[in-house]
Amino acid sequence: MARRPTVSALDNLDDHQRAAASALRGPVCVLAGAGTGKTRVITHRIAHGVDTGAYSPGRVMAVTFTAKAAGEMRGRLRALGIDGVAARTFHAAALAQLNYFWPSLTGDGAPALVSNKVKLLAHAADGIGLSPDTPTLRDVASAIEWRKITMRSVDAFVAARPSGIGRLDVQQVADLQRAYEKLKDERRQMDFEDVLLTCAGMLEAEPRVTQEVREQYRHFTVDEFQDVSPLQYRLLQLWLGDRRDLCVVGDASQTIYSFAGADARYLLDFPRTHEDAQLFRLETNYRSAAPVLEVANALMRGRPGALELVPARPGGAAPTPVVRAFEDDEAEAAAVARSIADAIAGGVEPSAIAVLYRSHAQSAALLAALAAAGVATTVLGGRRFFDQPEVRQAVLALRAASVAPIETDFVTTVRDVLRSLGLTDEPPPAGGALRDSWEARAAILRLAENAEPGTSLRAFTDGLVARAKDQHEPTTRTVTLATLHAAKGLEWDHVHLVGLSEGLLPISYATSFEDIDEERRLAYVGITRAGRTLSVSWSRGRGRMARNPSRFLQEIGTRSLRAADAPATRGSVRPRADVRSARESPSGW
C-alpha cells in the first residue's frame, strides 16, 4: 500500500536530481558522478513512484552489488516511509528465487552453497593427481569465477586465456576446473556464480517460473550499473522480458572490477541499446572541495564516459591537494602517521581520516607507524563490526538486560553492561586487539548516547539487531585503512592516498592499455573519497626496489596538485621548479 505523502519525495533535490527522480516510466539511464547523490536519487525516485501510485512497493526490485549497499538502500527507503521494496544484490535475489521455486520443480531443496571454493579445488586437485599450492588454487578459483560470469565453457576459457596458472599448464588448469565441477555436482553443491547461472537457466527453461517472476516484479532499478557482468546482464534481461521499466545508475569512471567481468559498455551503450531511453547526468558534487575535484577531473579528462564534476559549494578555504615524495615506504608511513597524529591533536575526528592504498601488502608499514604514533586504526575488509565476538557478546548481554525491569535510564544500563564486559574510561594503547575491542564497545555506547529521547533499552537492542541485518555499522573513532577497491562508495573529510609510484599504482602487472585505464579509475576512486583535504605521496625506494613516480601524477599536473617535496629525477617525470626537500615540506595536511 502506498504511504500517504506529507512531504514530497522530490523535495530537497537539486534540479538535475529532481528530473531524474521524476522519470518513472520507460528505460532511464542516470550517469551519476562521485558524490552527486545517486543513492538519494534512486531511493527518492522509488518513493515518488509509490507516492504517485505509479509503483506498488512489492512490485519493485532495486538491485545493487553489495549487501551493505542493499541494506543502506532499505534503510533510506524506510526513512522515506517505504516498506516492501526488494532491495537486494543480484546473488541474493537469484538465491531467493532458486530456494522458492526449486522444491516445486524438483521435489527437493536447492543445492547447498560451497563454503570454501579453494578447499574444494584442493580436493578436486587431489582426485586428478595434482598438488598446486594455495596461491595457485586461489588464482584458479578467480579464473573459474571469471569464466562463469562471462558465460564461457571450459574450452572457451582455454581459448580466451591460453596460458597456465602458477606451475599448472593450461591443460591442467582446464582439467582441474572440470574436476572441480564434477566434485561439486557429486556433493550437490553450488558456488556463488552457479547461483546466477542456475537461476538464469531456470528462467530460460521454465516458462511458468518466468511468468511468475515477471508478474511479481514490474519495475527494476540497478545501481552501480558500470559493474554489471555479462551473466548479471543476462539475468536482468530474463527478469525484464519485453518490459521497459528499467532504471540504471552508474559512473563509467568508477569501473574498477573489469578483471572480474564488469563491463561498463552496458552503461555507456544504454541509450543506444534501449529505444527512447531518457538520459540524465548528475555532475554536481556534494562531497568534495573544489581543489579535490580539480585533481579528479584532471586525471579522467578525455576518458570514455567521464563526467566533469562541479562542486556544490565553489570556493572556500580548502587547501590545494599536495604530493610528497619520500626515500622509502617506512619514511612515507612515518610522515603520514605524524600528519594524522597532528590533525587529531588539532581536533580532527579520527573517523574523518582515511589512508588508502592499492594492495593489502602496503598496510603493514602504515599500521606500525600509526600504532607508534598512538593512533587507533580500523582496516576495511576485515571482520564485519557485528560479527566481532565482543560485539556479539555485547548485543546478547544488552538483550538479556532489556528483559529485566530497569530503574535507571537506558544509557546508564548500556554503559554498565559494557563496563562489565571490559569497557574502561581510558582506551588501551593503539595497535592491539584490546584497543580494537575497546573501540567496538565504545561505538555501541555512542549509539546509545545519541539515541532519540525516550528510547527504551528494548528498542535500542532491536535497533542493533536491525543494524546487523542491514550491515549498518556504527562509526568507530579510528582512522580507516583501506585498499582502493574496499574504499569505493565511502567518503572521509581527509584522505591520504599513498604509494603513487610505478609498480604500485599502476600495479606492476597492469601492462595493457585497458589494464592501465583500470588503474587510473582506481586512482580516481581514491581521490574522490576525499571531502576537504587530499594528500598524495610516493616513495623512491632503493636498489632493485627503486621506483619512479606514477604516470598519473604527470597526467594530473601541477595546475591542480602541488608538489611539496622533490620527486625522483628518474623516468619521464621531471623535477618541478616549485618543489622542496622532504625535510622542508610541511607535515600537516
499 known ligand binder: no
Q: Is 468 left (phi over 0), alpha (psi -120 to 50) or beta?
A: alpha
For residue 290, give every residue at least 6 positions away whose Cβ sits within 8 Å of its Cβ, in sequence order, or none: 311, 313, 314, 315, 316, 318
What one-letter code names the amino acid at 290? A
33 known ligand binder: yes
Phi, psi of 537 (to 5 degrees): -150, 165
325 known ligand binder: no
Grid cell in block for residue 481: 585503512
320 known ligand binder: no
Q: Which of 358, 289, 292 is nearest to 562 (CA)?
A: 292
| Cα 576 from Cα 249, distance rounded (Å) | 40
Contact (Cβ atoms closer than 8 angstroms) between residue 119 and residue 153: no
* Helical H segments across 128-191, by residue range: 134-149, 154-160, 170-186
Q: Which of 116, 530, 482, 112 is nearest to 319 (CA)?
A: 530
Grid cell in block for residue 10: 522530490
| Cα 44 from Cα 50, distance rounded (Å) | 10
| Cα 211 from Cα 207, distance rounded (Å) | 6
Residue-wise DSSP of 306-361: ----EESS--SSPPPPEEEEESSHHHHHHHHHHHHHHHHHTT--GGGEEEEESSGG
Contact (Cβ atoms closer than 8 angstroms) between residue 244 and residue 273: no
Task: Report DSSP state, residue 493.
Answer: E
Return the sign of the alpha-carbon dihedral for residues 88, 90, 96, 100.
Answer: positive
503 known ligand binder: no
| Cα 9 from Cα 497, distance rounded (Å) | 37
Grid cell in block for residue 327: 626515500
39 known ligand binder: yes
Burial class (CB in 10 A: 0-12, 13-18, 19+), 248: buried
Task: Report DSSP state, residue 116.
Answer: -
37 known ligand binder: yes
| Cα 363 from Cα 384, distance rounded (Å) | 18
**Residues comprising the binding site?**
32-39
**Residues comprising the binding site for ATP?**
32-39
